[in-house]
Structure 1
Amino acid sequence: MRKIRIMEHMSLDGVIESPGGKEDGDFKYAGWSMQYVDKVIGDGIVAAHGTGYDLLLGRRTYDGFAAYWPKAESGAIADGFNAATKYVATHRPESLEWGPAKDLGTDIIAGVRALKAQDGPELIIWGSPSITSLLLEQGLVDEVVLIVYPVLLGNGKRFFSDNVDASELALADTKAGESGAMINTYKYVGALSKAKN
């Protein structure tokens, strides 16, 4: 059975939109995370990917990545992203040119359940807030890695959705960079238990 890991660059107020730069879109603060990626954070992000994985992406994230990563300088992240099979939630499977790539089918949850049941490398999700919300809602996520930056952006696409059921996660690891950014790794526990009096 494959594990599913969500990884997100996130501001303190939960915004995940365009952390890397203009290649991510027209967000007013595009590139907001880059000044905080020091050696500890950079090495931690590489380590959090592991040695072999596939990507699980929404169509907009796939398109943004496809415009950038095939042309990026060789390195652990670029090489890993380019080699990974990309499983994409899309209504246009014929246009998945950055490969290897496969669509998840018309029922995203059924497609992800089938992938998770297979043997194979772990599945990593970057961006794709509509998919992350669905998978959290369905209890299909094993781990959440949040790279949290000391910024408040005020608006933008957010990681958290009002549709997600209350859940409990256990902190498995944390790393702090000199920049004030932190990498927090959480294991999914299950539904939130009621507080004890």
Structure 2
Amino acid sequence: MTRWRFDGEITGLGTGSGVRIVVGHWSRSPLGEFTDVMVELADGHRVLLAPSEVVRDFVTATYVFDETVIASVRCSRSGGSRTVEGGDLRVSFELGARTTLGRLLNLIPRALASAPWFCVVSDPIARVVLRGVRTRGTAGNGRREYYGAVDQRRVVGMSASWRGRDLGALQPVDPPVRFGFGSTPRTPAATSIVTTIVD
């Protein structure tokens, strides 16, 4: 049995155009530090922006896409500001205060919140409270995946374009994205997370 542990931040964004964006910035992982982006267009077409073939191959073995693009995906971070550029996507967003969930997560020791067994226990609660969010499930190729959230901040502003077209104002992530067994929270937020994938 092989365990892969990814420590980073997942941000879910909805837009006025109907495009939904999920940015994953991984500060520590078996693949090194990297950023990847999952984009679901308004018509349901799902695109992965990956910075390398290694990242693309790992992600597509776990999630489902209609198209993959290898491009230099750059993420700059300064305080609560984030700017991500890669392929046809340009997106900047601003983080605000902790959400209620983020404040609750801060009361739980990090080692506990990120433990796979705790993700199993918290999954039924997440399904009800966060509507569509899962903390554990079966990923591609029979892999099991556990999302251990340790903090969360609300997204309070965003500007984004796809292929040079403005995507409109920040909106809820609705309908939910369909890359794997669960979606991001409906309310745009950046969730600090430890993801464990078990082969």
TM-score, length basis structure 1? 0.28
TM-score, length basis structure 2? 0.28
Q: Which has the higher helix share?
A: 1
**Which structure is larger by alpha-carbon Rg, 1 or 2?**
1
Q: Which has the higher strand share?
A: 2
